[in-house]
């Protein structure tokens, strides 16, 4: 039944495309026929995975590509730029333009198909790898009335002979980010535009077609009409998310900070809290609307005083990447990421690994395991994969990883004394000529762990919080607690305010010294305040016993019995106060 629906939908769009193309005297691009659900398990690569191309559109207007020739030239240095043009005549025009602007045309290809716009990110193909270990393309209903744009994924799939799947979901690429390991983020726009589906059905759909196991659907924090996640947030790596920041006077400050706090308290695919980094956008600059393309990060800049800090924020968060800024016809809701769609390497060399956290000293050393798969079908080169490590910033050493079977490999970093800081990354090569690192950039962003000299112990359960047990909403109250760490490590504290909000980790505090937190409640109610501690190695204590707190007093009112009688029943109050001792 689903297949029939998808096919019928595609036929309608294809008919509209043919009609529009015929009116222009053009031949429509061949269209792939949609298949059923892709074979499981499905993995959808991230933007920071290996790319071989970038998809853009030639509109013929000004600017003709939505991006500058400088951006196109920069991309063509590393990958193939595929330009969508409406005809062979337009292809020749574009080739002439590229040549005159110094763009390497040997790294340029073309898809001849009519389009409506240059927002290839929103309507372009979504790439997956299926359980058959081959690349596929997933299409969806583009959430704009642009029928030519909407059939581009099928046209590209036919052009490249890639299996093509249609997902029954209205969506857009600007409102979707994935970590490449089964997690993804969209705004609640995906719920609003699919009213005939329950949230569970949407989750099941992205699981079946994209391999998404955790789908974060969050409110849009910008208050814009477009409600796209790339206007304010972005995955930089599997455990790092970039979120814009604004001054406290900004009208969306609370919403943006709530989003940052939310993701700090979510768990990445590595089993650790997300590392949330910020980029300052006081004038609604579109700095998050950037493009990661292999080892480059192309950032839209505005020519204002905040550009340098924005570029530095990316360099700090993504060491080893080349971070470049480009001006353009950018808007807060429409910039570089919107106008370029990355093309995932069809034959990528994939490495999966969960980084080591801090390790207790072990005479046997520290085993590192990884899964390595070559989608090229070629064998790994001799000596590959390898584990490359160093201790306390010294020289790098290389260990060949040995096969554990089923494309899993292992190597053991030798034992190190307590207090040692170990950095490492994994490198692989295959006979197709491809190479890959984990983390992606390799040595410059290597994983790091500290060797703990003695077995570490979690902090003790904190004392029940002390502070006001009653108060008024919208007033700030302070609370204190204390606990000790058996290893005398410094401690951070996190407060649960009982109203659905958690504080950030506050501190550090010396073990055994009083820690404090402040909070204000938005409305009347009864709340249980509790707190937990975390040591410098990440071990957490149990939650404390709760302190019950009541916020019964509304602002400007006295809710004592005497005050209530005087305000609500003045005659009775007069009689009582004149005839009884109060």
pLDDT given for residue 558 in this prediction: 39
304-324 mean pLDDT = 98
How remote is the C-alpha of 255 from its chain's centroid?
Answer: 17
CB 370 within 8 A of CB 350: no
Task: Single out the residue of 319, 439, 321 nearest to residue 388, CA to CA.
Answer: 439
pLDDT given for residue 36 in this prediction: 85
Please tell me what DSSP assigns to residue 41. Answer: S
Secondary-structure breakdown of the chain: helix, strand, coil percentages, each rounded to the nearest 5: 25, 30, 45
pLDDT given for residue 572 in this prediction: 62
Tokens 């799947």 correspond to 165
- Look at strands 240-245 and 397-400 and give their pairing: unpaired
Is the model's pLDDT at 90 over the cut of 90? yes
Residue 568 φ then ψ, to 5°: -95, -30
CB 141 within 8 A of CB 88: no
Q: By percentage, how much of the chain surpasses pLDDT 90?
A: 82
Element spanning 429, H or E: strand 421-429
**Is 338 considered catalytic here?**
yes
pLDDT given for residue 12 in this prediction: 29
202-215 mean pLDDT = 98
How remote is the C-alpha of 155 from its chain's centroid?
Answer: 28
CB 199 within 8 A of CB 191: yes
Q: What is the mean pLDDT of the chain?
A: 90
pLDDT higher at 462 or 489: 462
Element spanning 255, H or E: helix 253-264
Q: Can you spell out the DSSP letters for 174-222?
A: GG-EE-SSSEEEEETHHHHT-TTS-HHHHHHHHHHHH--SEEEEE--SS
Please state which of the ranges 91-105, 205-219, 534-548 shows the lowest mean pLDDT. 534-548
For residue 357, what pLDDT band results from cuts at 50, 70 and 90?
very high
pLDDT given for residue 363 in this prediction: 87
Over the range 89-126, which residues count as b (16 or more CB within 10 Å of their CB) and which as e? ebbeebbebbeeeebeeebbebbbbbbbbbbbbbbbbb
The angle subtended at Cα 540 by Cα 537 and Cα 542, nearest 5°, is 165
pLDDT higher at 15 or 217: 217
Task: Single out the residue of 245, 265, 266 nearest to residue 255, CA to CA.
Answer: 245
280-287 mean pLDDT = 98
pLDDT digits (tens, 9 = 90+) for 121-146: 999 999 999 999 999 999 999 999 99
pLDDT given for residue 125 in this prediction: 98
pLDDT given for residue 581 in this prediction: 41
CB 309 within 8 A of CB 89: no
Label residue 582 exposed, middle or buried (CB < 10 Å: 0-12, 13-18, 19+).
exposed
pLDDT digits (tens, 9 = 90+) for 71-89: 999 999 999 999 999 999 9
Over the range 352-364, which residues count as b (16 or more CB within 10 Å of their CB) and which as e? bbebbebbebeee
Structural domains for the chain:
2-344 (3.75.10.10), 349-452 (2.60.40.1220), 466-551 (2.60.40.10)
CB 333 within 8 A of CB 420: no
Helix (H, G, I), strand (E, B) or coil at 257: helix
Catalytic residue among 82, 108, 231, 338: 338
Q: Distance between terminal CA atoms of the chain?
A: 78
pTM: 0.77
Residue 17 φ then ψ, to 5°: -65, -45
**Bridge partner residues of 413 (DSSP):** 366
Please state which of the ranges 135-139, 401-405, 563-567 shows the lowest mean pLDDT. 563-567
Distance CA(164)–CA(437), nearest Å, equals 29
Element spanning 404, H or E: strand 402-405
CB 260 within 8 A of CB 281: no
pLDDT higher at 537 or 555: 537
CA distances from 219 to 167, 255, 312 (A): 23, 9, 28
pLDDT digits (tens, 9 = 90+) for 465-486: 999 999 999 898 999 999 999 9
For residue 17, what pLDDT band results from cuts at 50, 70 and 90?
very low
Residues 6+ apart with CB under 8 A from 491: 459, 483, 485, 507, 508, 509, 510, 511, 515, 533, 534, 535
């Amino acid at each position: 039944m689903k297949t029939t629906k998808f096919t019928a939908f595609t036929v309608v769009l294809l008919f509209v495309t043919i009609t529009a193309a015929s009116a222009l005297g053009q031949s429509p691009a061949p269209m792939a026929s949609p298949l059923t659900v892709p074979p499981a398990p499905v993995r959808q690569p991230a933007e920071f995975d290996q790319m071989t191309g970038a998809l853009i559109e030639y509109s013929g207007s000004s600017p003709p590509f939505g991006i500058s020739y400088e951006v196109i030239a920069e991309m063509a240095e590393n990958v193939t730029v595929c330009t969508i043009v409406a005809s062979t005549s337009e292809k020749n025009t574009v080739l002439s333009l590229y040549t005159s602007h110094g763009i390497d045309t040997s790294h340029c290809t073309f898809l001849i198909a009519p389009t409506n716009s240059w927002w290839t990110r929103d309507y372009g193909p979504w790439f997956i790898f299926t359980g058959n270990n081959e690349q596929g393309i997933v299409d969806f209903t583009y959430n704009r009335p642009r029928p030519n744009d909407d059939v581009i994924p099928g046209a590209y799939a036919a052009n490249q002979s890639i299996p093509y799947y249609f997902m029954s979901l209205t969506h857009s690429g600007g409102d979707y980010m994935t970590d490449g390991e089964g997690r993804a983020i969209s705004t609640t726009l995906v719920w609003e535009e699919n009213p005939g589906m329950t949230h569970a059905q949407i989750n099941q759909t992205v699981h079946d077609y994209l391999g998404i196991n955790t789908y974060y659907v969050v409110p849009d924090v910008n208050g814009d009409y477009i409600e796209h996640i790339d206007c304010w947030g972005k995955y930089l790596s599997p455990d790092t998310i970039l979120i814009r920041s604004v001054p406290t006077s900004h009208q969306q400050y609370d919403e943006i900070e709530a989003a940052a706090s939310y993701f700090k308290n979510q768990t990445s695919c590595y089993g650790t809290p997300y590392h949330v980094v910020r980029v300052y956008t006081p004038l609604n600059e579109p700095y998050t609307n950037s493009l990661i393309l292999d080892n480059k990060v192309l950032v839209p800049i505005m020519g204002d005083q905040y550009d340098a800090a924005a570029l530095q924020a990316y360099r700090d968060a993504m060491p080893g990447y080349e971070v470049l800024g480009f001006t353009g016809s950018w808007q807060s809701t429409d910039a570089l990421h919107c106008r370029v769609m990355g093309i995932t390497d069809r034959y990528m060399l994939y490495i999966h690994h969960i980084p080591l956290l801090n390790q207790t000293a072990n005479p046997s050393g520290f085993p590192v395991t990884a899964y390595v798969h070559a989608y090229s079908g070629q064998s790994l080169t001799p000596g590959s994969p390898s584990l490359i490590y160093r201790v306390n910033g010294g020289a790098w050493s290389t260990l060949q990883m040995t096969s554990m079977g089923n494309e899993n490999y292992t190597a053991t970093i030798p034992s190190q004394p307590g207090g040692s800081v170990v950095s490492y990354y994994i490198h692989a090569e295959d006979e197709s000529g491809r190479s890959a690192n984990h983390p992606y950039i390799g040595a410059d962003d290597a994983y790091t762990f500290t060797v703990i000299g003695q077995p570490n112990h979690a902090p003790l359960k904190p004392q029940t919080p002390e502070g006001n047990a009653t108060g008024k909403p919208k007033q700030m109250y302070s609370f204190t607690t204390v606990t000790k760490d058996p290893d005398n490590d410094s401690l951070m504290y996190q407060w649960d305010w009982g109203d659905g909000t958690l504080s950030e980790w506050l501190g550090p505090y010396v073990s055994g010294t009083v820690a404090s937190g402040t909070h204000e409640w938005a409305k009347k109610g009864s709340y249980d305040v509790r707190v937990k501690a975390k040591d410098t190695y990440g071990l957490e204590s149990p939650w404390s016993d709760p302190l019950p707190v009541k916020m019964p007093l509304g602002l400007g009112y006295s809710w004592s019995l005497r005050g209530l009688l005087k305000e609500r029943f003045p005659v009775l109050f007069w009689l009582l106060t004149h005839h009884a001792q109060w």
